[in-house]
């Protein structure tokens, strides 16, 4: 897995590069914490099951 990704940052209101702040295995997959280099906004992804950067409809 790459240690950086490009993702929409809601604080910066643009696409930004995020760095991998932490990673660990949990019972539903690999949990990865991502943080924006510009503002330090962070979100968590667990494989394709959980993505805290997605806003509910």
User: CATH number for the domain including 24?
Assistant: 2.20.25
Digit-coded pLDDT (tens) for 1-55: 579 999 999 999 999 999 999 999 999 999 999 999 999 999 999 988 889 987 6
pTM: 0.84
In terms of phi and psi (left: phi > 0; alpha: psi -120 to 50; beta: otherwise), the region of 23 is beta
Task: Work out whether strand 50-51 and strand 29-36 pair parallel, antiparallel, or are unpaired.
Answer: unpaired
Q: How far apart are CA 26 and CA 5, in angstroms?
A: 21
Q: Do the domain assignments include residue 15?
A: yes
Range of the domain at 18: 4-51
pLDDT attached to residue 54: 75
Q: How far apart are CA 26 and CA 33, in angstroms?
A: 13
Q: How far apart are CA 37 and CA 11, in angstroms?
A: 12
Q: How many domains does the chain have?
A: 1
Q: Do the domain assignments include residue 24?
A: yes
């Amino acid at each position: 897995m790459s240690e950086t990704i490009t993702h929409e940052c809601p604080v910066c209101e643009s696409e930004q590069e995020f760095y991998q702040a932490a990673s660990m295995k949990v019972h539903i997959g690999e949990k990865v914490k991502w943080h924006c280099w510009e503002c330090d906004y962070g979100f968590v992804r667990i494989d394709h099951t959980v993505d805290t950067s997605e806003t509910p409809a």
